[in-house]
Amino acid sequence: MEMTGSRLRLAFLLTALILAVEVLSGWVAGSLALLADAGHVLTDVIALGLAWFAVEQAKRPSDSARTYGYHRVGILAAMVNGASLIVIVAWIAYEAVGRLQHPRPVSGGLVVAAALVAIGLNAFIGFSLRGSRNLNVRAALLHVLGDLAASIGVVAAGVVILLTNWTYADPLVSLGIAVLVAWGALRLVGQTVNILLEGTPRSVDLKAVRSAIAGTAGVSSVHDLHVWALSAEELALSCHVVVPEDVQLAAGEHLVRDLELRLCADFAIAHTTIQVEACHPCPGEDMHTPGAHNHPHAVRPA
Protein backbone atom coordinates (compact mmCIF):
# COMPACT_ATOMS: atom_id res chain seq x y z
CA MET A 1 0.00 0.00 0.00
CA GLU A 2 2.85 2.39 0.87
CA MET A 3 4.62 1.68 -2.44
CA THR A 4 1.38 2.26 -4.37
CA GLY A 5 0.84 5.59 -2.62
CA SER A 6 4.41 6.70 -3.40
CA ARG A 7 4.06 5.84 -7.09
CA LEU A 8 0.77 7.69 -7.36
CA ARG A 9 2.18 10.71 -5.53
CA LEU A 10 5.13 10.90 -7.94
CA ALA A 11 2.82 10.52 -10.95
CA PHE A 12 0.51 13.24 -9.58
CA LEU A 13 3.36 15.72 -9.05
CA LEU A 14 4.91 15.10 -12.48
CA THR A 15 1.53 15.43 -14.19
CA ALA A 16 0.92 18.69 -12.35
CA LEU A 17 4.29 19.84 -13.72
CA ILE A 18 3.17 18.93 -17.26
CA LEU A 19 -0.03 20.94 -16.69
CA ALA A 20 1.97 24.01 -15.63
CA VAL A 21 4.36 23.71 -18.61
CA GLU A 22 1.53 23.37 -21.13
CA VAL A 23 -0.56 26.21 -19.70
CA LEU A 24 2.42 28.58 -19.70
CA SER A 25 3.67 27.46 -23.14
CA GLY A 26 0.20 27.55 -24.65
CA TRP A 27 -0.36 31.08 -23.43
CA VAL A 28 3.05 32.31 -24.67
CA ALA A 29 2.83 30.46 -28.03
CA GLY A 30 -0.81 31.40 -28.60
CA SER A 31 -1.62 27.71 -29.11
CA LEU A 32 -5.15 26.60 -28.32
CA ALA A 33 -4.05 23.00 -28.95
CA LEU A 34 -1.59 23.19 -26.06
CA LEU A 35 -4.20 24.80 -23.82
CA ALA A 36 -6.72 22.14 -24.83
CA ASP A 37 -4.17 19.43 -24.06
CA ALA A 38 -3.62 21.15 -20.71
CA GLY A 39 -7.35 20.68 -20.11
CA HIS A 40 -6.91 17.00 -20.85
CA VAL A 41 -3.89 16.86 -18.54
CA LEU A 42 -6.12 18.38 -15.86
CA THR A 43 -8.30 15.25 -16.09
CA ASP A 44 -5.16 13.20 -15.46
CA VAL A 45 -4.21 15.36 -12.48
CA ILE A 46 -7.71 14.80 -11.08
CA ALA A 47 -7.62 11.05 -11.75
CA LEU A 48 -4.17 10.64 -10.20
CA GLY A 49 -5.04 12.89 -7.28
CA LEU A 50 -8.22 10.94 -6.55
CA ALA A 51 -6.38 7.62 -6.90
CA TRP A 52 -3.71 8.83 -4.47
CA PHE A 53 -6.40 10.21 -2.17
CA ALA A 54 -8.28 6.89 -2.24
CA VAL A 55 -5.14 4.95 -1.30
CA GLU A 56 -4.39 7.33 1.59
CA GLN A 57 -8.00 7.38 2.80
CA ALA A 58 -8.08 3.59 2.77
CA LYS A 59 -5.52 3.74 5.59
CA ARG A 60 -7.94 5.66 7.82
CA PRO A 61 -10.06 3.50 10.10
CA SER A 62 -13.80 4.03 10.21
CA ASP A 63 -15.23 5.80 13.24
CA SER A 64 -18.58 6.36 14.89
CA ALA A 65 -19.33 9.31 12.58
CA ARG A 66 -18.26 7.56 9.33
CA THR A 67 -18.86 3.85 9.87
CA TYR A 68 -17.98 3.09 6.23
CA GLY A 69 -14.91 5.32 6.29
CA TYR A 70 -14.20 8.34 4.09
CA HIS A 71 -14.42 6.89 0.58
CA ARG A 72 -17.26 9.17 -0.55
CA VAL A 73 -15.14 12.32 -0.12
CA GLY A 74 -13.28 11.34 -3.27
CA ILE A 75 -16.57 10.74 -5.08
CA LEU A 76 -17.85 14.22 -4.22
CA ALA A 77 -14.59 15.74 -5.44
CA ALA A 78 -14.84 13.74 -8.66
CA MET A 79 -18.36 15.06 -9.24
CA VAL A 80 -17.27 18.69 -8.87
CA ASN A 81 -14.18 18.17 -11.02
CA GLY A 82 -16.15 16.38 -13.74
CA ALA A 83 -18.61 19.26 -13.92
CA SER A 84 -15.77 21.80 -14.14
CA LEU A 85 -14.18 19.82 -16.98
CA ILE A 86 -17.38 20.10 -18.99
CA VAL A 87 -17.13 23.89 -18.63
CA ILE A 88 -13.50 23.72 -19.85
CA VAL A 89 -14.60 21.69 -22.89
CA ALA A 90 -17.23 24.30 -23.75
CA TRP A 91 -14.56 27.04 -23.59
CA ILE A 92 -12.14 25.07 -25.79
CA ALA A 93 -14.85 24.43 -28.39
CA TYR A 94 -15.88 28.10 -28.39
CA GLU A 95 -12.29 29.28 -28.84
CA ALA A 96 -11.58 26.66 -31.53
CA VAL A 97 -14.58 27.73 -33.63
CA GLY A 98 -13.48 31.36 -33.27
CA ARG A 99 -9.95 30.54 -34.44
CA LEU A 100 -11.25 28.58 -37.41
CA GLN A 101 -13.11 31.71 -38.46
CA HIS A 102 -10.27 34.09 -37.55
CA PRO A 103 -6.89 32.28 -37.51
CA ARG A 104 -4.19 33.58 -35.18
CA PRO A 105 -0.42 33.17 -35.42
CA VAL A 106 0.97 30.22 -33.46
CA SER A 107 4.60 29.56 -32.47
CA GLY A 108 4.95 26.03 -33.84
CA GLY A 109 8.44 25.50 -32.39
CA LEU A 110 7.34 26.23 -28.82
CA VAL A 111 4.26 24.03 -29.28
CA VAL A 112 6.41 21.09 -30.39
CA ALA A 113 8.95 21.62 -27.59
CA ALA A 114 6.31 21.78 -24.84
CA ALA A 115 4.44 18.77 -26.22
CA LEU A 116 7.69 16.76 -26.40
CA VAL A 117 8.35 17.55 -22.74
CA ALA A 118 4.84 16.30 -21.93
CA ILE A 119 5.41 13.12 -23.96
CA GLY A 120 8.69 12.42 -22.16
CA LEU A 121 7.22 12.92 -18.69
CA ASN A 122 4.08 10.93 -19.51
CA ALA A 123 6.20 8.07 -20.85
CA PHE A 124 8.15 8.04 -17.57
CA ILE A 125 4.93 8.14 -15.52
CA GLY A 126 3.44 5.28 -17.55
CA PHE A 127 6.63 3.24 -17.08
CA SER A 128 6.52 3.79 -13.30
CA LEU A 129 2.86 2.76 -13.04
CA ARG A 130 3.03 -0.35 -15.22
CA GLY A 131 2.54 -3.83 -13.79
CA SER A 132 0.40 -2.88 -10.78
CA ARG A 133 -2.67 -4.94 -9.82
CA ASN A 134 -4.22 -2.02 -7.96
CA LEU A 135 -7.34 -0.89 -9.84
CA ASN A 136 -6.71 2.77 -8.97
CA VAL A 137 -3.23 2.58 -10.46
CA ARG A 138 -4.44 0.78 -13.58
CA ALA A 139 -7.16 3.41 -14.14
CA ALA A 140 -4.60 6.19 -13.66
CA LEU A 141 -2.31 4.50 -16.19
CA LEU A 142 -5.08 4.58 -18.78
CA HIS A 143 -5.48 8.33 -18.20
CA VAL A 144 -1.75 8.86 -18.68
CA LEU A 145 -1.72 6.84 -21.90
CA GLY A 146 -4.64 8.92 -23.19
CA ASP A 147 -2.74 12.10 -22.47
CA LEU A 148 0.32 10.67 -24.22
CA ALA A 149 -1.77 10.18 -27.36
CA ALA A 150 -3.18 13.73 -27.11
CA SER A 151 0.34 15.19 -26.76
CA ILE A 152 1.41 13.34 -29.91
CA GLY A 153 -1.49 15.05 -31.68
CA VAL A 154 -0.25 18.43 -30.44
CA VAL A 155 3.25 17.65 -31.76
CA ALA A 156 1.72 16.82 -35.13
CA ALA A 157 -0.12 20.15 -35.17
CA GLY A 158 3.05 22.00 -34.27
CA VAL A 159 5.03 20.27 -37.01
CA VAL A 160 2.33 21.10 -39.59
CA ILE A 161 2.42 24.77 -38.54
CA LEU A 162 6.24 24.83 -38.71
CA LEU A 163 6.37 23.26 -42.18
CA THR A 164 3.34 24.81 -43.86
CA ASN A 165 2.24 27.68 -41.59
CA TRP A 166 -1.27 26.17 -41.79
CA THR A 167 -2.58 27.50 -38.46
CA TYR A 168 -5.92 25.71 -38.83
CA ALA A 169 -4.15 22.60 -37.51
CA ASP A 170 -4.10 24.14 -34.03
CA PRO A 171 -7.88 24.61 -33.52
CA LEU A 172 -8.67 21.33 -35.32
CA VAL A 173 -6.45 19.36 -32.92
CA SER A 174 -8.01 21.36 -30.07
CA LEU A 175 -11.50 20.17 -31.06
CA GLY A 176 -10.28 16.56 -31.14
CA ILE A 177 -8.81 16.89 -27.66
CA ALA A 178 -12.01 18.59 -26.47
CA VAL A 179 -13.99 15.54 -27.57
CA LEU A 180 -11.55 13.32 -25.66
CA VAL A 181 -11.88 15.44 -22.51
CA ALA A 182 -15.68 15.59 -22.83
CA TRP A 183 -15.90 11.81 -23.12
CA GLY A 184 -13.83 11.34 -19.98
CA ALA A 185 -15.69 14.06 -18.07
CA LEU A 186 -19.14 12.69 -18.92
CA ARG A 187 -18.08 9.19 -17.92
CA LEU A 188 -16.68 10.56 -14.65
CA VAL A 189 -19.90 12.44 -13.85
CA GLY A 190 -22.03 9.42 -14.81
CA GLN A 191 -20.03 7.10 -12.56
CA THR A 192 -20.17 9.47 -9.60
CA VAL A 193 -23.92 10.04 -10.01
CA ASN A 194 -24.49 6.26 -10.07
CA ILE A 195 -22.42 5.84 -6.90
CA LEU A 196 -24.18 8.68 -5.07
CA LEU A 197 -27.58 7.24 -6.08
CA GLU A 198 -26.36 3.86 -4.77
CA GLY A 199 -27.01 2.28 -8.14
CA THR A 200 -25.79 -1.19 -9.02
CA PRO A 201 -22.17 -0.86 -10.24
CA ARG A 202 -21.75 -1.48 -13.95
CA SER A 203 -19.07 -4.04 -13.21
CA VAL A 204 -21.56 -6.20 -11.30
CA ASP A 205 -24.03 -8.55 -12.97
CA LEU A 206 -26.87 -8.58 -10.43
CA LYS A 207 -28.46 -11.67 -12.01
CA ALA A 208 -25.16 -13.53 -11.68
CA VAL A 209 -24.86 -12.48 -8.03
CA ARG A 210 -28.43 -13.66 -7.34
CA SER A 211 -27.77 -16.96 -9.09
CA ALA A 212 -24.53 -17.50 -7.17
CA ILE A 213 -26.27 -16.95 -3.83
CA ALA A 214 -29.37 -18.99 -4.70
CA GLY A 215 -27.19 -21.80 -6.06
CA THR A 216 -25.21 -22.17 -2.86
CA ALA A 217 -25.86 -25.42 -0.99
CA GLY A 218 -28.25 -24.82 1.90
CA VAL A 219 -29.96 -21.74 0.39
CA SER A 220 -33.63 -22.15 -0.53
CA SER A 221 -34.07 -18.65 -1.98
CA VAL A 222 -32.77 -15.11 -1.81
CA HIS A 223 -34.61 -11.78 -1.76
CA ASP A 224 -34.15 -8.12 -0.83
CA LEU A 225 -30.83 -8.20 -2.69
CA HIS A 226 -28.96 -4.89 -3.01
CA VAL A 227 -25.48 -4.20 -4.40
CA TRP A 228 -24.04 -0.70 -4.35
CA ALA A 229 -20.67 1.08 -4.35
CA LEU A 230 -19.21 2.95 -1.41
CA SER A 231 -16.55 4.27 -3.78
CA ALA A 232 -15.09 3.28 -7.15
CA GLU A 233 -13.20 0.49 -5.38
CA GLU A 234 -15.41 -0.54 -2.46
CA LEU A 235 -18.57 -2.60 -3.14
CA ALA A 236 -21.23 -3.55 -0.61
CA LEU A 237 -24.10 -6.03 -0.58
CA SER A 238 -27.08 -6.83 1.60
CA CYS A 239 -29.64 -9.58 1.19
CA HIS A 240 -31.96 -12.03 2.92
CA VAL A 241 -31.38 -15.74 2.36
CA VAL A 242 -34.03 -18.31 3.21
CA VAL A 243 -32.84 -21.68 4.53
CA PRO A 244 -34.75 -24.84 5.58
CA GLU A 245 -36.30 -24.69 9.05
CA ASP A 246 -34.16 -27.55 10.36
CA VAL A 247 -30.88 -25.69 9.76
CA GLN A 248 -29.00 -25.21 13.02
CA LEU A 249 -27.50 -21.86 14.08
CA ALA A 250 -23.92 -23.05 13.56
CA ALA A 251 -24.74 -24.30 10.06
CA GLY A 252 -26.30 -20.91 9.26
CA GLU A 253 -23.12 -19.13 10.33
CA HIS A 254 -21.00 -21.44 8.18
CA LEU A 255 -23.32 -20.70 5.27
CA VAL A 256 -22.91 -16.93 5.73
CA ARG A 257 -19.10 -17.28 5.83
CA ASP A 258 -19.21 -19.37 2.65
CA LEU A 259 -21.35 -16.77 0.89
CA GLU A 260 -19.05 -13.94 1.99
CA LEU A 261 -15.99 -15.74 0.60
CA ARG A 262 -17.74 -16.52 -2.71
CA LEU A 263 -19.00 -12.97 -3.16
CA CYS A 264 -15.56 -11.53 -2.43
CA ALA A 265 -13.74 -13.96 -4.74
CA ASP A 266 -16.21 -13.92 -7.66
CA PHE A 267 -17.54 -10.34 -7.58
CA ALA A 268 -14.99 -8.36 -5.48
CA ILE A 269 -17.73 -7.48 -2.95
CA ALA A 270 -15.96 -7.01 0.38
CA HIS A 271 -18.76 -5.54 2.54
CA THR A 272 -21.68 -7.93 3.01
CA THR A 273 -24.71 -8.00 5.30
CA ILE A 274 -26.58 -11.29 5.00
CA GLN A 275 -29.73 -12.00 6.99
CA VAL A 276 -30.60 -15.69 7.37
CA GLU A 277 -34.31 -16.59 7.59
CA ALA A 278 -35.83 -19.99 8.32
CA CYS A 279 -39.11 -20.36 10.19
CA HIS A 280 -40.19 -16.72 9.81
CA PRO A 281 -39.03 -15.46 6.39
CA CYS A 282 -40.02 -12.02 5.12
CA PRO A 283 -43.10 -11.91 2.86
CA GLY A 284 -40.86 -11.19 -0.15
CA GLU A 285 -39.67 -8.47 -2.49
CA ASP A 286 -42.94 -6.52 -2.39
CA MET A 287 -42.36 -5.61 1.23
CA HIS A 288 -39.08 -3.87 0.40
CA THR A 289 -40.36 -0.94 -1.60
CA PRO A 290 -40.07 2.78 -0.70
CA GLY A 291 -42.34 3.56 2.24
CA ALA A 292 -43.01 -0.10 3.05
CA HIS A 293 -42.08 -1.68 6.38
CA ASN A 294 -40.31 -5.03 6.42
CA HIS A 295 -42.07 -6.38 9.49
CA PRO A 296 -45.69 -6.44 10.60
CA HIS A 297 -46.63 -3.99 13.30
CA ALA A 298 -46.65 -5.52 16.74
CA VAL A 299 -49.98 -5.59 18.55
CA ARG A 300 -49.63 -4.25 22.07
CA PRO A 301 -51.69 -5.97 24.75
CA ALA A 302 -54.55 -3.92 26.13
Give the pLDDT score at 298: 44
**8, 193, 213, 234, 247 from 54: Cα distances, Å:** 10, 18, 30, 10, 41
pLDDT tens track, the chain, 302 positions: 455 678 888 888 998 999 999 899 888 888 888 888 888 788 778 878 877 876 777 677 777 777 777 767 667 766 776 777 787 788 888 888 888 888 878 888 888 888 899 899 888 888 887 776 555 566 667 677 777 877 888 888 888 888 888 888 888 888 887 887 788 778 778 888 888 888 898 889 999 999 999 999 889 999 999 999 887 678 899 999 999 988 787 888 889 999 999 999 889 888 899 999 887 677 655 445 544 545 554 444 44
Distance CA 185, CA 96 (A): 19
Whether CATH 3.40.50.620 fits 2-196: no
Separation CA 237–CA 276 (nearest Å): 14
Distance separating alpha carbons of residues 130 and 133, to the nearest angstrom: 9
Quickly list DSSP for 216-258: STT--EEEEEEEEESSSS-EEEEEEEE--TT--HHHHHHHHHH
For the domain made up of 206-287, the CATH class stated in words is alpha beta
Domain ranges of the chain: 2-196, 206-287
What's residue 300's pLDDT?
Answer: 46
- pLDDT at position 203: 83
Instruction: Report CA torsion sign: 155, 156, 158, 163.
Output: positive
DSSP label of 150: H
Q: Which of 200, 201, 225 is nearest to 213 (CA)?
A: 225
* Cα within 13 Å of Cα(254), Cβ side: 7
User: What local confidence, expressed as pLDDT, does residue 280 receive?
Assistant: 67
- How far is the C-alpha of 111 from the C-alpha of 26, rounded, in Å? 7
Separation CA 154–CA 167 (nearest Å)? 12
How high is the pLDDT of residue 252? 86
Kind plus residue range of the DSSP H or E element containing 203: none
Span between the terminal Cα atoms of the chain, in Å: 61
Same topology for domains 2-196 and 206-287, yes or no?
Answer: no
Q: pTM for the full model?
A: 0.64
266 HSE (CA, 13 A, CB side): 14
Q: How far apart are CA 211 and CA 206, in angstroms?
A: 9
Confidence at residue 299, expressed as pLDDT on a 0 to 100 scale: 45
